[in-house]
Structure 1
Amino acid sequence: MYIIFVNFKNFLKFFYDKKLKKWWWEKNSGNMWKKWDENKKGGREKYDEKKKKYEKKIYYYKRKKKEVENKKKKMIINKKKIVKKEKEKEKKK
């Protein structure tokens, strides 16, 4: 029978992934469960997830479009004000 002395810290380093900051069993088990969940999901759930992502994109697109329209309106109003001021100055002269 052999007795092996191992430095415990060095032994643990072998099982720890520094890039992901996870132990090897966490890393592997997470991937396994994700795959299992994806396979377990029905067609309706997948469809709902895609729909939510699509709706978010539409929402942000519409919001951005409104912001652009509001900026254009403000610019037009500011131009009109500037033109009015210039006309008033010309009249005073």
Structure 2
Amino acid sequence: MDTASAYDILRMTIDTILLACAPILAVALLVGLIISFIQALTQIQEMTLTFVPKIVAIFGALALTLPFIFGTLTRLSDRVFDLIVSGGV
């Protein structure tokens, strides 16, 4: 295994991780911004108001995007296993 193939596998892994976690992070960001905006307008600084809706939204987004995440991770593992079988690693 040379450094170019190790770099390629590492790049594919990082790209896959970023792609798989992007929907969850986007939902968390959007819900956090909405809650912060509501808190700024109403001046309610309750800590549970920050965490509970965000956790519910994250679990909902996770339930909806789980097939996408699984497919993305499966494609990465298939590519890496193909490299191993072909002797590229």
TM normalised by structure 2 equals 0.32
Q: Answer 1 or 2: higher relative contact order, Cα 8 Å, separation at least 6.
A: 2
Larger radius of gyration: 1
More strand by proportion, 1 or 2?
Answer: 1
**What's the TM-score once normalised by structure 1's chain length?**
0.31
